[in-house]
Amino acid sequence: MYELGDIVEMKKPHACQTNRWEIVRMGMDIKIKCIECQHIVMMPRREFDKKMKKILEKKVSD
């Protein structure tokens, strides 16, 4: 399962042609930030679950 700080790949690439997003907020809604252009998108968790393809990198725990 995904966690705060993970890097995920979505089914459709962003307009900047990058498909790497960092999860920056979790709750009822999930906020993700494009790694390339720093654009932030917020969507309901149910929609995020449908649109997420896979987890690319897990957050490194300190």
pLDDT digits (tens, 9 = 90+) for 1-40: 899 999 999 999 889 999 999 999 999 999 999 999 999 9
Within a domain: 28: yes
Range of the domain at 20: 6-57
- Rounded alpha-carbon distances, angstroms, from residue 22 to 29, 53, 60: 14, 13, 13
| Count of domains observed in the chain | 1
Q: 59 pLDDT exceeds 70?
A: yes
Dist CA 5 CA 28 (whole Å) = 16
Is residue 1 assigned to a domain? no
Tell me: pLDDT of 61 over 80: no
Distance CA 19, CA 12 (A): 7
Is there a domain that residue 19 lies in?
yes
**pLDDT at position 56:** 96
Task: Give a yes or no: residue 27 inside a domain.
Answer: yes
Residue 41 falls inside a structural domain: yes
- The answer to the question of residue 33 being in a domain is yes
pLDDT digits (tens, 9 = 90+) for 34-46: 999 999 999 999 9
Does a structural domain hold residue 16? yes
Report residue 47's pLDDT band, with 50, 70 and 90 as the boundaries: very high
